[in-house]
Structure 1
Amino acid sequence: MTQKRATPTIKRRRVGAQLRRWRGPMKSGDAAKLMGWDTTRFSRIERGLYRISGDEVRDLCAKLGVDDKPAVDEVAKVAEEPPGAGWWAPYTDRVSPNYLDFIELEAEAETIRIQHPVVIPGPLQSPGYVREMITRAPTAVSAEQAEMLVSIRMARQEVLTRTEKPVKVHALVPESAFHAKFSSGPAIMRDQLRRLIDASDMPNVRLQIVPLTAHPTFGANGAMTILSFRHPWTMVASVDNPMGGTHTEDPAQVSFLEREFDGIASIALPADKSRDLLTEYLEGPHK
């Protein structure tokens, strides 16, 4: 079933949110008057319901006294971007709005911190593992939908290897995931282990394994992803769920999840020991 997008794009909402932060304590009606707009129009721009042009962003910021030209230019540039201007455009009406939002955020992120308590985190999954996770999921999808979701997940991994500013990833991987048994055979996990070892060699990837001996409270609250962006965009935290995740820019919530992530990272194996353990699993003594 296709899902028509009933909410504005994540980029438009983030433009509006940044303008709201720059408005500060000024009343929205007073800010609207600076531009000769009515309050309703201004409110809808801040909520991402109405588009604002790059020139209007610059004009408004000048009248608000925002003295940060690089930041203003960045927001003005994003305000001008047409919706769905990315490789994911063909999937706009074929995946949930929350998932589409996450794909766009992930593509724009400078750093990604990701933790999953059960499976290999998405950015580090091998093609066979991706297909296994999607086609064997309890939620039934058609073969065509499954292949579409596999293609999307693999395309998302381009952020790791892109020529211009590849994203920096800090991934916390559960050792328990290496013990999964697949009806398709052990080759899937061997390929996945090779994928993790290759990723650990990348200069923009920090991979830590959460050992089997870790107390179960670490990671018990579920999977999370924390994304940071170039100035002036705020960080976003995403909590995983089957509908594409729940995303927040609320500073208190993001800070809470950062502390949660750091706590799990503190008991995970260091990167070098994690790589050694991956090699041991690949060579077989843990089978």
Structure 2
Amino acid sequence: MPARRTITARQERLGRELRKLREQAGLSLREAARVTGIDEGKFSNVEAGRVGVSAERVRLVASGYASADAALVDALAAMTGERARGWWAKYRDLLPPGFLDLAELEHYATYLRSFESVHIPGLLQTEEHVRAIYSSSVSELPEDQLDARVQFRLRRQDVLGRADAFRCEVVIHEAALRVRAADHGVARRQLLHIVEQSERPQVVVRVVPFDVDGFTRIGNPMLMAGGPVPQLDTVLLDSAHGGVFMDTEAQLDRYRRVISDVEAAALGVVESRDFIHQLAKHE
């Protein structure tokens, strides 16, 4: 199988998880190649995400490692599909890879938990709000790029209409709610849209107001995407330089605590909805 031209975050994650299984089995690359019958060079490329691997090969590898975690092995086997199968593939040559990685992460997530301290969460933004954000970006975007980014963000929101047990829990700091991407009218309609979306059974929106005592978590926005098993959860930290994916056991434990702290400081669901309604009345 030829090496990939580009490697997605999901493909890199699969490779890292296969490497973890090998290391837990106490095997070197050479020993793993001998146990599974896979060429050592190819094995290295699979673990780096540069070369694809089939579901059957994943199960063969896990069997060679004597892995007893059947749920994890099943989840890894399910990760062997190619990005081209997702709706985001048509944007591959239009948008930066990080955009596609985020859409893919959300698409496969079993749940989403996020905290936004500066911006309205992308999944809850109105079209006019999205367009205002990109129109005022530091580097002026050509019209086709602007349209592509707006439509891409709106298409990501389809995840909120999933029919399964998916759940999206969002905590927004009051600061983010008060930032105007455009004029008063856009801001008011954006706030009312958040309230409307919060009435979906699978969407939970809560607010951390300015007057909460001792709240010190107003840092980088973060998103936790649930995997099919807890080991495959992912944290995405947003920054000025782009998103950073984090998935080591220590990182996941840390950010589970962080987002739990944020949720503990937030208002209840009904109080939050009333809070946003009041902000909208003053826009």
State the match for 2:218 in structure 1.
Answer: 220
Q: Give the deviation of 1:242 after TM superposition.
A: 4.4
State the match for 1:21 in structure 2.
Answer: 20
**In the aligned structure 1, how far is the partner of 2:250 from the partner of 2:65?**
26
Change (3 A) 1:263 1:231: closer
Q: Give the deviation of 1:223 after TM superposition.
A: 0.9
Q: How many residues align?
A: 278
State the match for 1:207 in structure 2.
Answer: 205
**In the aligned structure 2, how far is the partner of 1:242 from the partner of 1:140?**
17
Q: TM-score, normalised by structure 1?
A: 0.87
State the match for 1:9 in structure 2.
Answer: 8
Q: Give the deviation of 1:199 after TM superposition.
A: 1.7
State the match for 1:121 in structure 2.
Answer: 121
Contact 1:28 1:43 in 2 (8 A): yes
**In the aligned structure 1, how far is the partner of 2:55 from the partner of 2:178?**
52
Deviations 1:58-99 (A, max 9, x none): 2222222234445434422332x2332211111112222223
Which amino acid is the alignment partner of residue 29 of structure 1?
R
Deviations 1:198-244 (A, max 9, x none): 12211211211110223686343211111111137511111113454
**In the aligned structure 1, how far is the partner of 2:197 from the partner of 2:154?**
14
Contact 2:224 2:236 in 1 (8 A): yes
Alignment partner of 1:157: what SS?
helix
Which amino acid is the alignment partner of residue 52 of structure 2?
R
Which amino acid is the alignment partner of residue 150 of structure 1?
V
**Gapped regions of structure 2 (runs ≥ 5):** none
Which amino acid is the alignment partner of residue 41 of structure 1?
K
**In the aligned structure 1, how far is the partner of 2:11 from the partner of 2:154?**
26
**In the aligned structure 2, how far is the partner of 1:124 from the partner of 1:169?**
11
Change (3 A) 1:71 1:220: closer
Change (3 A) 1:77 1:269: closer
Deviations 1:91-130 (A, max 9, x none): 1122222232222111111111111111211111112211
Which amino acid is the alignment partner of residue 117 of structure 1?
S
Change (3 A) 1:13 1:182: closer
Please say if 1:237 is aligned against 2:235.
yes
Which amino acid is the alignment partner of residue 220 of structure 2?
G
**In the aligned structure 2, how far is the partner of 1:181 from the partner of 1:96?**
26
Q: 1:248-267 residue pairs with structure 2 within 5 A?
A: 248-267=246-265
Please say if 1:170 is aligned against 2:207.
no
Deviations 1:11-65 (A, max 9, x none): 3222222222322122222111012233222122112112212222222222222
**In the aligned structure 1, how far is the partner of 2:88 from the partner of 2:250?**
30
Q: 1:73-84 residue pairs with structure 2 within 5 A?
A: 73-79=74-80, 81-84=81-84
Deviates more, 1:220-229 or 1:37-46: 37-46
Contact 1:114 1:172 in 2 (8 A): yes
Deviates more, 1:148-157 or 1:250-259: 250-259
State the match for 2:53 in structure 1.
Answer: 52
Alignment partner of 1:208: what SS?
strand
Contact 1:228 1:236 in 2 (8 A): yes
Contact 1:197 1:279 in 2 (8 A): yes
Alignment partner of 2:83: what SS?
coil
**In the aligned structure 1, how far is the partner of 2:8 from the partner of 2:181?**
38
**In the aligned structure 2, how far is the partner of 1:280 from the partner of 1:88?**
37
Please say if 1:62 is aligned against 2:63.
yes
Matched-pair identity in %? 28
Superposed CA RMSD: 2.2
Q: TM-score, normalised by structure 2?
A: 0.89
Deviates more, 1:14-23 or 1:111-120: 14-23
Contact 2:220 2:239 in 1 (8 A): no
Contact 1:71 1:232 in 2 (8 A): no
